[in-house]
Every structure is written in C-alpha cells, then in structure tokens.
Amino acid sequence: MISYENKIILAPMVRIGTLPMRLLALRYGADLVYTEELIDWKFLRSKRRFNEILNTVDYVDQTDGTIVFRTCMEEKEKVVLQLGTADATRALKVAKLVENDVAAIDINMGCPKEFSIKGGMGVALLSQPEKAHSILSTLVNNLTIPVTCKIRIFDTPEETLRVVNILVSSGIKAIAIHGRTRDERPQHAVHPDIIKYVAEKISIPVIANGGSKEIEKYDDILKFKDMAGCTSVMIARAAEWNCSIFRQEGLLPMDTVIKEYLKIAVDYDNSPSNTKYCVQNILRDLQETPRGRQFLECQTMEQICAIWDLQEYCQKQQSYHQKMGIQGRWQVTP
C-alpha cells in the first residue's frame, strides 16, 4: 500500500501524463506519478489486454482501437490513475477494472474546463460536496487500493477547510490541493497560505500543488512544499517543460531530456501524435528555430527521432516490434 508522506509527485496532465513521461519522471526521481485524467465513460468502452511484446497492460478502446491507458510493471506500485467522473457507479466500475494494475485512484475535482463542468465533473463537484463525498466513499468502501482527490481552493481558508472536511470524512488517504480558485488561471499567483491553513488542520497528508511558476530547480520544489506546510508536493508544468526537475542532482539540458523521453516513447510504441505533443511542450519557444520548424513538420516517430540522432534506435525497435507482430499477438485477459 503506498504512502503519501514525504512524496514528490508528477501531477496529472492531459496528453502529457502518458506512459513515457510517467516512466521518465520516475527514473529522474519522482516518487509517484499520476496519469492524465481519464473520463469514466470513455474508459468503460475499453478492454484490458496484456501486450506480450511490450510487456504492458493496455486498455484498448473497442470502438476505434486506440489505447486509452497503457501501463507496465515498472510503475505498478507508483502509478495513480486519475478519473474524471460525475457518477459513483461508473467511477467504481472503472476502478474495479484497473484495481490490480495501479497503485491508487484519484478523482479530479479541480478541472475548470467547460467539458468537465458541463458533465458535472472536475471543479463542478466542489459545488456539490455531498455528491463528491458519495463518489469518494463508494470507492473507499469497495476498493483495496487507496483513494484520493485533487481539488482547488475556495476564496477563503475557512470555506476551503469546510469542504475539505466533508471530503476527508469519506475515508480518502490524501488530498491534493491546487492553490488557485476555480476562476484563477495558471498565470495568477498561487496561494500556499490557504493550502497551509488546511494542511495544519486535517489529519491526512496534503499534497501541495500550483507552484510551477516559481519552480526552476529541485530546491524550489522543497521551498514550495515548505511554504504550503505540506508533507508532499505535486508538480505539473515544471515537469512538462523539463522532467529532470525531479532529479536531486540537478536539471539536465533540454536535448538530453528529449532524447531520453524519445527512447522510452519508442520502446513503448507511443503514438507519434502524443510523442510530438510532449516534445513540443518541452521545446516551447524553440519551435521557432530552424530545427523547431523541421520538427513541426514531422509525422512519424522515425522523423522525430532523426532530429535527435535516434533514427537508428527507432528503426531497430520498430522493426523488432513489427517482427514480433505487435498488433496481432495481444491476448485478451479476463
């Protein structure tokens, strides 16, 4: 059973938190890694398969064959699956499917995007704390793995604490708090003081989140954690930009991080579009350089890898995967 004390964590990020980035974060020193938010009803369209060639467990969408969630032994004890849900029964169905493949389940109660709010998910749940409580307690009472949630703060420390206390009474093992309100955007200042107020008053670990704007090196992670008075901390954007932020020994150059990321993406047959998106978010402004423009035109893994001198590595792995018949040898497990 995982503990949430004294942990440095990769935050959930849509499209960024797929298997290659999670493994890279773990290899650089992250203690736990969250998946991107996976929407319950979409997940329920998928079937679990063991992929013998990659040694991965794949949840494959039965309608279009895309991989909804891919995981492997290396992360089994450290991966937290984040669900987007507005419905306790559906959430439990997904959680039961993945219970033996992941270390914990987290419910997203912080996403302010229209898609989430319209569906009663994400931050919408914070305006219905009783419903949020019922989703969490349904999971807590029926799962053998820990359950957590990730929320945003309210305008005042007192209101934040009031809602947190309702959520905590469901039996969750920890709570991640993003120190911004539902109307604040990433460029707004974070409020570690409100996280601290809550962390001092509740009995379960609080995971502080929202500090990336001021996080440029490993020590800044610890500074933010201390400011928020928390035992654990969760990093999103600073890791999206340079995942080696998790290295106690210090940041690595961007090109090294991209190379290491690409190797894992090739090893695990990650889709070219997802790989490109993640590399784009490491390159950021550098997409305007000649090499960046060349990168933007890439459509295959091989083309992307060629820019970082990994063409041969990519060819070798891809032909091995093909020889083994990566598509044909999946076994459906019960």
Q: Which residues bind ligand FNR (CB under 6 A)?
A: 11-14, 16, 36-37, 82, 108, 110-111, 150, 178, 186, 209-212, 235-238, 240
CB of 122 to ligand FNR, least distance (A): 8
Nearest to 179 by CA among 122, 227, 242: 227
CB of 330 to ligand FNR, least distance (A): 27
d(CA 76, CA 101): 6
d(CA 162, CA 215): 29
d(CA 34, CA 332): 25
| Residue 172 near residue 143 (C-beta atoms within 8 A) | no
CB of 274 to ligand FNR, least distance (A): 12
Please confirm, yes or no, whether 111 is among the known catalytic residues: yes
CB of 16 to ligand FNR, least distance (A): 5
CB of 323 to ligand FNR, least distance (A): 36
Task: Name the residue nearer to ligand FNR (CB basis): 136 or 310.
Answer: 136
- The dihedral region occupied by 325, where left means phi > 0, alpha psi between -120 and 50, and beta the remainder, is left
Task: Name the residue nearer to ligand FNR (CB basis): 114 or 331.
Answer: 114
Count other Cβ atoms within 10 Å, centred on residue 4: 23
| Residue 322 near residue 54 (C-beta atoms within 8 A) | no
d(CA 167, CA 182): 17
Three-class DSSP category at 58: strand
Burial class (CB in 10 A: 0-12, 13-18, 19+), 287: middle
Contacts of 246 (CB under 8 A, 6+ apart): 8, 10, 25, 28, 29, 30, 218, 235, 239
| Strand (E) or helix (H) holding 156 | none
d(CA 258, CA 242): 9
CB of 84 to ligand FNR, least distance (A): 8
Task: Name the residue nearer to ligand FNR (CB basis): 24 or 236.
Answer: 236
CB of 111 to ligand FNR, least distance (A): 5
Select which of 111, 149, 243, 278 is catalytic.
Answer: 111
Pairing relationship of beta strands 8-10 and 232-235 according to DSSP bridges: parallel
Q: What is the 3-state secondary structure (H, E, C) of 234-277?
A: EECHHHHHCHHHHCCCCCCCHHHHHHHHHHHHHHCCCCHHHHHH
Q: Which residues are catalytic?
A: 111
